[in-house]
Structure 1
Amino acid sequence: MSDDDNSPISAREAKQLFADLRSAPALVLAVSGGPDSVALMWLAARWQKSLARGPKLVVVTVDHGLRPEAAREAREVKRIATQLGLTHKTLRWRDAKPKTGVPAAARQARYRLLAQAARATGATHVLTAHTRDDQAETLLMRLLRGSGIAGLSAMARLTARDGIVLARPLLDVPKSQLIATARRAKLGFADDPTNRDSAFTRPRLRALLPQLAAEGGDARNLARLAGRLARANAAVEVLTDGAERFLRLRDGANAPHGPAARSFEAKAFAALPEEVRLRLLLRAINAFGHEGPAELGKVETLLGALDQAMSQAMSGGRAPAKGRAILKQTLAGALISLAGGRIHVVSAPARRRKRT
């Protein structure tokens, strides 16, 4: 990309942004009407026209029903899409709106509707206009929440979701370049006031970015940090895959792994690096639990309890009766126990509902 963060994106740069998507049969463009997504639509349309045989482009706008201006903005997106020769669809989030956590619920609904649209049109990818600025904000949000390495990797360029690939071709592009691109093309775009609403976390952090930039923490450096953490996370995932294979090979042909349970020899498990042990536990709990993804902090607490129990057992502490577990806990719908020198993870019995 250009070194000038305020210059419009050139045709040559656009080709580079979308090059990996050339062989896709169809692409869904998520366009809200803001400058980022309108620029994405214009750039993708110009790129497609430069190809002898490019993917079919379908523009989708999701109206969450949260702002009265949203319907008008969707009509404006349709007008621009039609001028560009693209098909446009408006999808509406008709479910009851939650009283709290509205941004997260709206995001989930948006991706669900976009995935449905992709499947209906034969598209393999949904393209969003997330920028370098969005990446920096995501890193800050997750940092303040105490996320682990995986969370601090922020957004990936490609993510599998609901059987569709979510693509973010503009993730290294500053928002200012997209605004410049939209203005150069004389494209109208909406200004969503919720982007400045201090009632929500992301706008509050966005307002702090100029102060962070003055200290060297600008969007470019924060996004670079997210990329480096993503590399580290990928490396740890490879180590975890290897550790899982090692533990299975150590168990031999009678490995107690399968569709009903996962089990690790405690002594071999204890010799692994802490981050790897944490991820092995997290994988097993999420595979056999039935109450959603396990919280990282709770898995860390569980690992600490397991380490303490294993240490006591290996140091010659009082051994439990044969077959009796030294430790037994439930987490995220999974039952984790330490017995007979092994760590076992199975699905926990469903909780009984309290009678009223």
Structure 2
Amino acid sequence: MPDDPLPAIDPELLFSHLSHAKGILAAVSGGPDSMAMMHLLARWGLEHRVSILVATVDHGLRPEAAEEAAFVAREAAALSLPHRTLAWTGEKPKTGLQEAAREARYRLLIRYAREVGASHLVTAHTQDDQAETILMRLAKGSGLKGLTGMRRERNREGITHARPLLGWPKAALLDLCQTSGWRFVTDPSNTDERFARVRWRRLMPRLAEEGLTASRLARLAERVAQADEALEMKAREALEGAAPEAGEGGLSFQAACLAEEPFEIGLRILAQALGRIGLENIRLQRLESCVERLRTAILASESLRLTIAGALLALDRSGRLSLRPEPPRSRGR
């Protein structure tokens, strides 16, 4: 995305892709990003006959959270938007808290979206959030797919998760709230350096001084996403051309394509094949190691048996690869 000044935020353009939604659930925490989204959605909703509901997740991690949810409820009511507080109850993990909270948050939101018949969930992720995500994934050694960042739309268990503010910087939304007189709250966890995202956020101004701005990182994510889409398409074509056969919960295909295609395509062919038997989100390192071993065996016309992420892979001497889920392990052995 270029560093040119941004135009005024037009709700009609911002939410145009939501005009055919059967119902919209807006996740609003009370911060300036989500409060700006709620006000803009309410304004847009006046011109469109789409049901808009608001939900706030109380993670039960801070005593102020309940009052913040009540604040959002009052502000939503002033806009004639129904509101529900969703509570994350039960014991909280001592490690990986942010990731666990994120999983709980989406679980609660998707469940509620289904309950109220909403087809879309919208969240207020911004350009800055996208930049932080790219940096965090880069630091963890992510592959191309990880560097696509957050998508503007994705499917979550049948609900469309949309991020309409992904092209907008936090500063623009904060300024909009302040100039419009829209109230918001400040979450102290956003400055808690125990969390990796906060530490990366602190580094962003220094990186921007060297030219690595949030807008340029977001543009990088868009370009990587375009490349990722092309590679996925090429891998699908290669897999379809390898005589795939499904049966009894498994899949087999002629594996020569894993060795004949460039390594990156081979990775994606295997990932797609595993996805067809219900195994997804496999660690890149494990996938790379598996493809390397398969390519070596294919070129040597050797058979090979190995496991990866709950799947049994069997390559026969004719070069056909069979994949099936591992059977459940017997207890007590």
Scaled by the length of structure 1, the TM-score of the pair is 0.88
Q: Distance in 2 between matches of 1:182 and 1:123?
A: 27
Equivalent position SS for 2:241: helix
Q: Counterparts of 1:54-133 in structure 2 under 5 Å?
A: 54-133=49-128
Q: Distance in 2 between matches of 1:222 and 1:228?
A: 10
Identity %: 45
For structure 2, the residue ranges without an aligned partner over 5 or more in a row are: none
- 1:348 matches 2:326: yes
- 1:225 matches 2:217: no
CA-to-aligned-CA distance 1:255-297 (integer Å, 9 cap, x gap): 533353222223344212211211121222344366x632111
Of 258, 279, 284, the residue aligned with 1:296 is: 284
CA-to-aligned-CA distance 1:88-124 (integer Å, 9 cap, x gap): 1111011321121111111111111111121122211
Q: Which amino acid aligns with 1:173?
A: W
Residues 25, 56 of structure 1: 8 Å contact kept? yes
CA-to-aligned-CA distance 1:59-85 (integer Å, 9 cap, x gap): 100000011100010011011111111
Equivalent position SS for 1:45: helix
Equivalent position SS for 1:226: helix
User: Residue 173 of structure 2 corresponds to which residue in structure 1?
Assistant: 178
Of 23, 32, 36, the residue aligned with 2:33 is: 36
User: Residue 246 of structure 1 corresponds to which residue in structure 2?
Assistant: 241
Q: Which amino acid aligns with 1:343?
A: L
CA-to-aligned-CA distance 1:117-168 (integer Å, 9 cap, x gap): 2112221101100000001011111111111111110011111002100000
Q: Which amino acid aligns with 1:328?
A: R
CA-to-aligned-CA distance 1:161-218 (integer Å, 9 cap, x gap): 0210000000001111110111122122111111111111111111111111111100
Equivalent position SS for 1:247: coil
Q: Distance in 2 between matches of 1:151 and 1:96?
A: 30
- 1:139 matches 2:112: no
Q: Which amino acid aligns with 1:59?
A: V
Residues 289, 346 of structure 1: 8 Å contact kept? no
- 1:22 matches 2:10: no
Q: Counterparts of 1:328-347 in structure 2 under 5 Å?
A: 328-340=305-317, 341-347=319-325
Q: Counterparts of 1:158-197 in structure 2 under 5 Å?
A: 158-197=153-192
Residues 53, 81 of structure 2: 8 Å contact kept? yes
Quote how far apart the aligned CAs of 1:246 are.
1.0
Q: CA RMSD in A?
A: 1.9
Residues 30, 129 of structure 1: 8 Å contact kept? yes
For structure 1, the residue ranges without an aligned partner over 5 or more in a row are: 249-254, 314-318, 320-325
Residues 289, 332 of structure 1: 8 Å contact kept? no
Q: Distance in 2 between matches of 1:17 and 1:302?
A: 43
Scaled by the length of structure 2, the TM-score of the pair is 0.94
User: Residue 322 of structure 1 corresponds to which residue in structure 2?
Assistant: none
Residues 133, 149 of structure 2: 8 Å contact kept? yes
Q: Which amino acid aligns with 2:239?
A: E
Q: Distance in 2 between matches of 1:143 and 1:111?
A: 24
Q: Which amino acid aligns with 1:265?
A: Q
Equivalent position SS for 1:190: coil
Residues 258, 269 of structure 2: 8 Å contact kept? no
